[in-house]
Amino acid sequence: MDKDALRTLMVDEQLHRRGIKNKKILDAFATVPRHRFIPQASQNSAYADHPVAIGENQTISQPYIVALMLEYLEIIPKDRILEIGTGSGYQTALLEILSHQVYTIERIPILAKRAESFLQELNTSSIFFRTGDGTLGWPEYAPFDKIIVSAATREIPLPLIEQLGEDGRMVLPLGDSFSQMLTLVEKKRGSIETTDICGCVFVPLVGGFGLMQPS
């Protein structure tokens, strides 16, 4: 089966049938060529229903989990979004379609560079890249309407709480290295409310407010 057919099948079987309803999100998944964000060695699994290795011991998340995170963010076209963990840049490309601007931070320089050059090849124009510790956020551009964190930590990093705008929404996995709860964080009148979404397993967030400190 060719990649376009595999992608159509992924949207139908893994997302739509499991309850992802938002048409803009489904259309974004149908548009972004997921296989092109995945190294040659893992190409056969590009549209599979599980995470896939992207090098440097990191993974691109399972499509359904990415879709769920995007649904809970309730993105609208004028949103400015902070993404922690650029990884392959796949989710960054989806965010770019759905929002006004994406500020994305990756700590591993080789992944950051690869994602940036590939996203530029795809002619994206409203993504801002930074290499460094995303647990510190990006204060120069705060507040953000939405924040999405693609790596796990025990507690919500304080700088991210501070940099989330009023009525903002953040989605992140909270827990230990082995299992986490995907969590929605909402800021209302300056205080934080959290809601459990579902169990999940992400790679650890490595940094000042992360699950692990850099070695």
Annotated active-site positions, please? 61
Of 93, 92, 5, the residue nearest 47 (C-alpha): 5
For residues 160 and 185, which CB has a smaller minimum distance to ligand SAH in the complex?
160
CB of 133 to ligand SAH, least distance (A): 5
> Which residue from 14, 99, 150, 163 is in contact with ligand SAH, where contact means CB under 6 A?
150
> Which residue from 84, 95, 160, 172 is in contact with ligand SAH, where contact means CB under 6 A?
84
Contact yes or no for 47/35 (Cβ under 8 A): yes
Q: With CB under 6 A as the contact rule, which of the stretches 12-20, 87-95, 159-167, 169-177 interacts with ligand SAH?
A: 87-95
Residue 82 found at the interface with ligand SAH (CB under 6 A) = no
Before 143, cis peptide (omega within 30)?
A: yes
The amino acid present at 177, given as its one-letter code, is S
Q: With CB under 6 A as the contact rule, which of the stretches 39-47, 68-76, 104-112, 174-182 interacts with ligand SAH?
A: 104-112
Q: Could you tell me the CA-to-CA distances from 32 to 27, 114, 122, 140, 180 in Å, in that order?
A: 9, 17, 10, 29, 27
Residue 168 found at the interface with ligand SAH (CB under 6 A) = no
Residue 134 found at the interface with ligand SAH (CB under 6 A) = yes
Backbone φ, ψ for residue 55 (5° rounding): 95, 165
